Structures are given as C-alpha cells and as structure tokens.
Amino acid sequence: MIFDLPWKSFRSPSIVMPIEDLLGDATGSRMPEIVPEELTVARAVAAVSVCPTGALELRETPTDHLLELDYGRCVGCGWCRQAAPEAITEARRIFHCGAPKRQLKLAWSLTRKEEVRPDAPHPESTRVVEEAARNIFKWMGRALNIRALDSGSCNGCEAELTALTSPWYDLERFGIHFVASPRHADLLLVTGPVARNLHEAVLQTWQAMPEPKRVLAVGACACSGGVFAASPAIAGPLDQVIPVDGYVAGCPPTPAMVLTGILRVIQKR
C-alpha cells in the first residue's frame, strides 16, 4: 500500500551519528598518520620522495632529522603509506579541524621517536568543540547561518558538505544550517583554490557579510592550493585573498571533519 513506507519509517528507530564518535572522525579521508616509533631515515626518505604536493619534508638539523607533515598541503593520495607502511598509517582521528594554519604543520624527531610540535591540537580539545555544539543557541540567540562558496573546486568537498545535511550527520541538530545569501551568514565556508576568475566573487561575498563574521577554509585546495597551487589560473590559497579563522585539511575532508572545524571556529567566536 502507499502508506506502508511512511508507516515503516515512523516505526523505525532514529539513527544519528553520536557527537562523541563524530568529532575529528577522519575515517575514509585517506589522510596519513605518523607512527613515530617506526620512523627511520630510510622510511622518511621513501615517503618524502613520492609525495606529489610536497606535504612531507625531511629536514636535517645539527643534532637530528625531522620529518615534517603539512596537513594543509596533503591530498591523501596514500603514496607515502605505500612507500613506508610501517611508519605511516591511515588516520582515524584528526584533531586539527578548524585549527590555525600553524597547527596544520607537524614534525617528528627521527632520533627521539616523538612529535616535536607541542602546540598541535590534542584529543582533549574535542571537549571544547562539544561545548560549542551545545551552546550555539545560547551564544547567538538563533541558529548559526553558513554561506558555502565554491571558489573553483572539483566538487569533491561539495559532495561531503551535502552529506552533512543527511539524517546520519544531521547538521541542524547543532543549530546550524546553510543560507543562500552572504548578508544572512555568520560563517563563510570556502572550498577550492581561489581561481582568478572567482577572486572578485570571493572578496565581494566576504565584504557582504555582516560583522562579526568568520571564515573557514575547507579542503587542501582552500588551505594551500592543493594540486593546483602552481597553476597560473589560481590566485589562492584562500588566506591570500581574505582573512581565514580556521582550516580543515583533506582532499576532500570527511563530513565529520568539516563539522568539527565549524564548531571549533564558532567556539573561538
């Protein structure tokens, strides 16, 4: 019967991804995670040599070798994991979503077998993001309005943004929704490298937003230019055009990573 489907839908249990599982979840993003205990010079050299965007660098100091990973430039190609599978695995959680650009670049000592960037975000910072999710209505007195702007992306990031509105992630349970006009927006979410043909559109969109406003760069292209960084058709990355408050790495980032970045930027309102 025609009413069977809605009847079964009403009787089905509600399935929504819990926030404690959602925050920082990078499963499926293909982003790398370093295992410092397994780092050697040979493995680091092998990983650096295959990185297509220069996200991995091996730097020699008078007393040590440092392997540096710039998440903002990483496109999750997986080549470094193939070159050094013992020392580089697939990340399950990334706590740099919505972080300042300096926190996207991490380093590990090959001698001490440990991370040497103490200002990087850590798992306990998710408690702050959970608080932001609970307090959006209290802080703003209404829902958080987001204007999403494609400044020349391949639409990979847009597909992940669309998934955010699905019942599994249910973006609006946090009091967040997308709007059509920048004049109604509190947060500008930009994807893609800033193409020269869209430079003025990005600038005008940002100028049209009322204060106080925030800007979130989503995806490797918006963070660093990604694989298009050397193209003469690109005016970006985004922070060369407008001020940016937070960055979400990935090519593309998962919906969970994007939501974590949104909540962290708003928490720093």
Residues 114 and 143 in one domain: no
Closest CA to 183 of 145, 140, 152: 145
Please report the pLDDT score of residue 220 as a whole number: 95
Instruction: Provide the b/e sequence for 100-111 (b: ≥16 CB within 10 Å).
Output: ebebbbbbbbbe
Please report the pLDDT score of residue 214 as a whole number: 92
- Torsion over CA: 170, 172, 175, 181 (sign): positive
Q: Mean pLDDT in each 10-residue stretch from start to end of the chain (269 residues)?
A: 54 65 86 94 95 94 92 94 95 88 92 78 63 71 88 93 87 87 94 95 95 94 93 92 95 92 82
Axis crossing angle, helix 126-140 with helix 255-267, rounded to the nearest 10:
60
In a domain, residue 48? The reply is: yes
Residue where one domain finishes, among candidates 106, 122, 138: 122
Residues 112 and 164 in one domain: no
In a domain, residue 12? The reply is: no
**How many domains would you assign to the chain?**
2
Residues 117 and 217 in one domain: no
CA separation, residue 213 to residues 146, 191, 195 (Å): 10, 17, 23
Residues 163 and 221 in one domain: yes
Structural domain of residue 170, as residue ranges?
124-267
* Predicted TM-score (pTM) above 0.85: yes
Cβ neighbours for 218, distance < 8 A, ≥ 6 positions apart:
157, 161, 189, 190, 191, 248, 252, 253, 258, 261
Please report the pLDDT score of residue 265 as a whole number: 87
Please report the pLDDT score of residue 11 as a whole number: 61
Asked if 120 contacts 176 with a C-beta cutoff of 8 angstroms, the reply is: no
Closest CA to 262 of 169, 192, 195: 169
Q: How far is the C-alpha of 244 from the C-alpha of 215, rounded, in Å? A: 5
Q: How far is the C-alpha of 263 from the C-alpha of 267, rounded, in Å? A: 6
CATH no. for residue 221? Answer: 3.40.50.12280
Q: How far is the C-alpha of 154 from the C-alpha of 195, rounded, in Å? A: 12
Give the residues across from 137 on adjacent strands. none
